[in-house]
Structure 1
Amino acid sequence: MKESQDRQKSYADRRRKDLEFEVGDMVYLKTVTYKGKDRSSKNAKLSPRYMGPYKILERIGKVAYKLELPSSMAQFHNVFHVSLLRKCIRNQDNVVPEPPSDLRENLTVEGRPVQIIGRKTKPEGRKNIKMIQVVWDCDGEEETTWEPEARMKAEFPKWFDKLTEDSGRKTRR
Structure 2
Amino acid sequence: MIQEKMRIAQSRQKSYHDKRRKSLEFQEGDHVFLRVTPITGVGRALKSKKLTPRFIGPYQILERIGEVAYRIALPPSLANLHEVFHVSQLRRYIPDSSHVVQVDDVQVAWGGPAGGNVTWELESQMKESYPELFA
Partner amino acid for 2:53? P
Q: Is the 8 A contact 1:26 1:91 kept in 2?
A: no
TM-score, structure 1 normalization:
0.43
Q: Which residue of 2 aligns with 1:51?
A: 56
- Looking at structure 1, the residues matched to 33 and 98 of structure 2 have their Cα atoms a distance apart, in angstroms, of 13
Give the match for residue 86 of structure 1.
Answer: 91
* Alpha-carbon distance in structure 1 between the residues aligned to 2:12 and 2:62: 39
Identity rate, percent: 52
Question: If the length of structure 2 is used for normalisation, what is the TM-score?
Answer: 0.54
1:12 paired to 2:17: yes
CA 1:56 to 1:93, structure 2 compared with 1: closer, same or farther past 3 Å? farther
Question: Which of 65, 68, 74 does residue 70 from structure 2 map onto?
Answer: 65
In structure 1, list runs of 5 or more residues that go unmatched: 35-39, 96-173
Counterpart of 2:26 in structure 1 is 21
**Within 2, Cα distance between the matches of 1:92 and 1:71?**
25
Which structure dedicates a bigger proportion of its chain to strand? 1
Instruction: Give the drift of 1:32.
Output: 2.8
Aligned pairs (5 A) from 1:124-143: none
1:14 and 1:83, CA in 2 relative to 1: closer, same or farther beyond 3 A?
same
Q: Residues 66-107 of structure 1, C-alpha deviation per residue, up to 9 Å, x if partnerless?
A: 001112221211000111100000156458xxxxxxxxxxxx
- TM-superposed CA distance for 1:7, in Å, is 1.6
The structure-2 alpha-carbon separation of the partners of 1:75 and 1:91, relative to structure 1 and needing over 3 Å to count, comes to farther
Pair 53,71 (structure 1): closer, same or farther in 2 beyond 3 Å: same
Answer yes or no: is the 8 Å Cα contact 1:23–1:59 preserved in 2: yes
Instruction: Quote the Cα distance in structure 1 between the aligned partners of 2:91 and 2:32.
Output: 5
Are residue 30 (structure 1) and residue 35 (structure 2) matched? Answer: yes
Range with greater deviation from structure 2 (1-10 or 20-29) = 1-10
Is the CA contact 1:53–1:91 (under 8 Å) kept in the aligned structure 2? no
SS of equivalent to 2:94: coil
